[in-house]
Amino acid sequence: MSDAVAKTFKLGGDLEVNRLGYGAMRITGTGVWGPPKDPESAKAVLKRAVELGVNFIDTADSYGPQVSEQLIGQALSPYAPGVVIATKAGLTRQGPNKWLPVGRTEYLRQQVELSLRALKLERIDLWQLHRIDPKVPVEESLGEIAKLQKEGKIRHVGLSEVKPHEIDQARKVIEIVSVQNQYNIGDRKHEDVVNYCEQNNIAFIPWFPVAAGKLARPGGKLDQAAKNHNATVGQLSLAWLLHRSPVMLPIPGTSSIEHLEENVKAADITLSDAEWKEIEASA
């Protein structure tokens, strides 16, 4: 890829978003459970994100559960033109840091209705199956989502934590416009999925985008490059993702306005291909 990095991406070919988004998992309580300590400051972060030009916000019904979606609905509705809210369903909560997949059709339909209500939307722009339920054929889960799409309640559909053969399987049932997997400069086990998404013009949404691990150590390649560019290691980790592929939509999350502003600036950092190659080699 050349040094010039595209600033936007068209989800599903028709929803143009700025590629650096915001992940709304961190605006909940400890263990992604219950409300945040300060709901007003969580809403202020969401409002500031939109002011800064972030128009792709990713959440899930299980964040809280429902806390994140409700805060987004309260803070941002009625939504500014062009703001895309993506949500997910298919993981249930049994307590702090506990997550179990449920992909039964009646459950997914119920969760879509609840998401619409919490987010104060008539249609979800991007709905994602949070996990494929090993007990329910994916064709069954997504068959119900296809009905909801026909009913006008969902615009586009994505998947989370999947491999290429699972994306192929899902695409036989419904058009898939995005995939959300764990991925960052220090953890690239889903390289095959990134390549698959790029070949098929499917958005790749990396969660846990700034965990650079050993690369971030003081004196390491990433640390040196950050100092050279007057940036933080976190900013550089995000800039690398934007450089890595034009279909990449990083969604760093934070509950602090200061950290949010720092993250957003990552979109303006440019390194040469040679500099990136050196960082990648050290990974």
247 contacts 201 by C-beta, under 8 angstroms = yes
How far is the C-alpha of 232 from the C-alpha of 216, rounded, in Å? 10
How far is the C-alpha of 54 from the C-alpha of 260, rounded, in Å? 10
How far is the C-alpha of 203 from the C-alpha of 248, rounded, in Å? 6
Name the token pair of 243. Answer: 């450089």
Q: Alpha carbon of 108 to those of 40, 41, 139: distances in Å?
A: 30, 31, 13
20 contacts 54 by C-beta, under 8 angstroms = yes
Helix locations, the chain, DSSP H: 39-51, 67-76, 105-119, 138-150, 164-171, 191-199, 221-228, 233-244, 257-265, 273-282
Cβ-in-10-Å burial (0-12, 13-18, 19+) of 80 comes to exposed
8: three-class secondary structure by DSSP: strand
How far is the C-alpha of 157 from the C-alpha of 119, rounded, in Å? 17
**Residue 168: Cβ within 10 Å count:** 13
Closest to 183 measured CA to CA, from 171, 167, 197? 197
The residues carrying an active-site annotation are: 63
